Amino acid sequence: MAPRGSLPTMSIQLFRRVLTNLGAWTAHPAAFAIVALYGLGWFIFERTAFDWHAVATLAVWLMTLVIQRAEHRDTQAMHAKLDELLVATGGARNELAGIDRRQGEEIETFREEARAIA
């Protein structure tokens, strides 16, 4: 196992952070514009390759973005509600209110520690 702060550990953390940010970016409305511009460019510059398969591919990409955006919105709303409940509850630990900003692996470690206590 590589020591903490080593190059493999840092690159894994960077990769995790990039994937997390990529998930948030795909929920942004600009992602739809990027796919639309890609489709337009495909249509203009490779008209012979732009057939029903191309239309189906673009439709799948756009629907994936729609689903990602809906999931992201729902998750953000749920986090806002939970943050409000945690802040309003006197016995709750305040550090939980911002746990959604951490990486998924860190959250899982926190949950395992909480299960061990309970």
In a domain, 21, yes or no: yes
In a domain, 1, yes or no: no
Please tell me the total count of domains within the chain: 1
The pLDDT tens digits for 5-21 are 566 777 888 888 888 78
- What is the Cα–Cα distance from 61 to 65, expressed in whole angstroms? 6
In a domain, 23, yes or no: yes
The pLDDT tens digits for 32-47 are 999 999 999 999 999 9
Helix residue ranges, H only, the chain: 7-26, 29-45, 52-88, 104-117
Per the model's pLDDT, the better-predicted residue between 109 and 60 turns out to be 60
In a domain, 25, yes or no: yes
Range of the domain at 95: 7-117
In a domain, 15, yes or no: yes
In a domain, 2, yes or no: no
